[in-house]
Copies of this chain bind each other. A is one copy, B any other.
Amino acid sequence: MKYLSPQYEDVKPLLTAVDCIIFGVQGTELKLLVFKREIDPFAGCLSLLGRFVKVDEGINEAAGRILFELTGLENIYMEQLHCFGRVDRDPGGRVVAIGYWSLIRVDQNHMEFNVRSHETMWISIDRISELVLDHSEMAELAISNLREKARFKPIGFELLPEEFTLGQLLTVYQAIFDHPIDDRNFRKRMLKSELLIPLPKKDKSTSKKGSFLYKFNQETYHRLSKEGYNFGF
């Protein structure tokens, strides 16, 4: 690609990177996917999954490519978080980083991978302060966005398999907010929200009696994603 406009010629370009903040719920805990940084400065330190944007790809495509290169995952829910551009954020050069955050469903078998020779790993949220550069700040902002969204939009469903129990749904929300949520109130609210479609079957993996399975109502989901809904968390 050539720079066409002579008016743009004197402008000094900057490096542009994408960093991915990828969340998943493992057991009862919200986790973050990181890897050991491969290049200097700070090679070997814990880092978000990131790479530079190429001159011939859009930033959204770059985010998808980077996620795929580092994890083998494709077609994952990704949302742009924020652009981070302090002059001194990276001692290796003047890099503007665009953060993208993702939620990975627990049923996609995505919680236990270590692909393409990259040492990716899931870490607890309380280890975020160990991340390199301004990656802690990025991850903190992503968590606060995730929590804010989860209060008003039915985003927790992105972390669940297609069919789930109310117990699993509660676990996801407790993991996101990192505090216990009153079980009875939660069930009442969720059932009242019209977000859930009861299925005529039970999950018996955790008890003999079993728990009813639900899937979520796409129509209500899209309406509430747009309109918002106060879940009272």
Contact = CB atoms under 8 A, between A and B. Distances in A.
Interface stretch (A7-15, A167-175, A191-199): A7-15
Contacts of A106: none
Contacts of A94: 1, 3, 55
B12 A148 contact: no
A135 B232 CA distance: 37
Contacts of A86: 58-60
Per DSSP, chain A at the interface is: loop
Q: How many copies does the complex hold?
A: 2
A5 interface: yes
Contacts of A12: 54-55
Nearest to A52: B11
Contact of A5 (B4, B7, B92, B98): B92
A230 interface: yes
Contacts of A34: none
Given A14-B55, A85-B60, A93 B5 contact: yes
27 contacts: A3-B94, A4-B92, A4-B93, A5-B41, A7-B40, A8-B92, A8-B93, A11-B15, A11-B52, A12-B54, A13-B13, A13-B15, A13-B16, A14-B15, A16-B85, A53-B96, A55-B94, A57-B87, A58-B85, A58-B86, A58-B87, A59-B96, A60-B85, A62-B85, A80-B83, A151-B228, A230-B230
